[in-house]
Chain A
């Protein structure tokens, strides 16, 4: 079973000013990723967003969902095959 973790970036307070999910996750699933790739420069940390890079390690404990002050995180467990879901998540990460 592969969980699908979604972070709503329009409500999320961001990793620097909040970052509670990153701190509480027992498997360190979340990282702060750049919102945009800049040519020849590193991203300003202010532009970081939270995203669930290591979703394959999620144990579905739901601690991140419970701790998020703005309810920006959802974890869906569904019937899709792991292969289909992995491709779907990869597409979203890339977009």
Chain B
């Protein structure tokens, strides 16, 4: 179990605990210096976006130690305020039965990273009372919202899964979960910064994918589904391969396997992977 399950899971997975979807409808204003600066802009602060320029500067300059310090400080704060974790399709649907209201909204990452127009960008799902703010103050929270029933949301999760988008939960003030992203590399800032700069704003899921080599027919359908560079093709064996150290446990490879050769296994059943988040 990850540290968030231990603290906020109430005996289970923390993102399946209904208590973590409840929140008051208003925010208390920050005082003094906290109310100023880039962090006050929900977008500039979002997905660790404000810190990535610093990380790139340190890395480009070859200052490895400085890069590690920047990341550590940023993550200590992020794990209290705003971070993401990969979840499976089944869990995404379970969450849609727990949280209310559910609303489709535009992806702030792809709006910035690939300048996707709002009408093509309704891929994110916001959950909880925060969505009323999006509807009420369109000048503050851009892109608009479309409220959905749990049935519509589950249908949407299926479409996103089929299209090859990774499901994840987003924290907005630990332990409150306010969003469910449907992400991709490189459009998703969290996935990109994790893969390209090892900035662990997005955590791996509670599972890892495992292949039953006897069932794998080597059709290669699963391989391009992986956003995390964990899948490859074993040419001589004519089988798919998964680097389980790199696997985030999203289950996208499993969704397309025609022979059910890929299963998601609890990360903790592998002692060597249990603390690899």
Contacts and interface: CB of A to CB of B under 8 A. Distances in A.
Contacts of B35: 39
Contacts of A23: 114
B112 A32 contact: yes
Interface size grouping (class) on chain B: 35 or more
B41 A41 contact: yes
B10 interface: no
5 closest Cβ pairs, A-B complex:
A15-B115, A86-B61, A86-B60, A90-B57, A83-B61
Nearest to A19: B115
B266 interface: no
Nearest to B189: A31
A48 B41 contact: no
A67 B117 CA distance: 21
B41 A39 contact: yes
Contacts of B36: 39
A40 B115 contact: no
Contacts of B115: 15-16, 19, 22, 32, 45, 48
Interface of B: 35-38, 40-44, 52-54, 56-63, 108, 111-115, 117-118, 139-142, 186, 192, 196
A89 B41 contact: no
A82 B61 contact: yes
Contacts of A89: 57, 60
B53 A41 contact: no
A34 B43 contact: yes
A86 B54 CA distance: 10
22 contacts: A28-B186, A32-B114, A37-B38, A37-B44, A38-B41, A41-B139, A41-B141, A42-B43, A43-B43, A43-B44, A44-B142, A45-B111, A45-B115, A45-B118, A55-B60, A82-B62, A83-B61, A85-B60, A85-B61, A86-B56, A86-B57, A86-B58
